[in-house]
Amino acid sequence: MTDSNADAARADAQRFRETYESIRAEVSRRMVGQTDVIEGVLTALLAGGHVLLEGVPGLGKTMLVSSLGEALKLSFSRIQFTPDMMPADVRGTSVLVESEGGGHELQFEQGPIVANLVLADEINRATPKTQSALLEAMQERQLTIGRRTIKLEEPFCVMATQNPVEQEGTYPLPEAQLDRFLFKLVVGYPEEGDYREILRRTTGEQEVELSSVSNAETINAMRSTVRQVPVPEHAEDYAIRLVMGTQPGSAYAPELVNRYVSLGSSPRGAQALLLGAKVKALLAGRFAVATEDIAAVARPVLRHRVLLGFEGLSEGVTTDQVVDEVLAKLPVPEEAAG
Binding residues for other proteins, per CB under 8 A?
1-3, 5-10, 13, 228-230, 232-235, 284, 286-288, 290-292, 332, 334-335, 337-338
> Minimum distance from CB of 215 to other proteins (Å)?
25
Q: Which is nearer to other proteins, 205 or 335 (CB)?
A: 335
Yes or no: say if 157 and 46 are a contact pair by the CB < 8 Å rule.
Answer: no
> Minimum distance from CB of 288 to other proteins (Å)?
4
Any bridge partners for residue 106, and if so which?
96
Query: How far is CA 94 from each of CA 88, 127, 158, rounded to the nearest angstrom?
Result: 9, 22, 23
Q: Which is nearer to other proteins, 157 or 282 (CB)?
A: 282
CA distance 304 to 183: 8
CA distance 271 to 141: 17
CA distance 82 to 87: 11
Q: Which is nearer to other proteins, 209 or 335 (CB)?
A: 335
CA distance 225 to 219: 10
Q: Which is nearer to other proteins, 96 or 337 (CB)?
A: 337
> Minimum distance from CB of 163 to other proteins (Å)?
32
State whether the Cα torsion 129-130-131-135 is positive or negative: positive
Q: Which is nearer to other proteins, 231 or 306 (CB)?
A: 231
CA distance 162 to 186: 10
Q: Which is nearer to other proteins, 171 or 287 (CB)?
A: 287
> Could you check whether the bond before residue 155 is cis, i.e. omega within 30 degrees of 0?
yes
> Minimum distance from CB of 187 to other proteins (Å)?
29
> Minimum distance from CB of 297 to other proteins (Å)?
15
Q: Which is nearer to other proteins, 13 or 120 (CB)?
A: 13
Residues 6+ positions from 5 with CB-CB distance below 8 Å: none
> Minimum distance from CB of 105 to other proteins (Å)?
28
In what helix (H) or strand (E) does residue 298 lie, and over which residues does it extend?
Answer: helix 298-302
> Minimum distance from CB of 237 to other proteins (Å)?
10
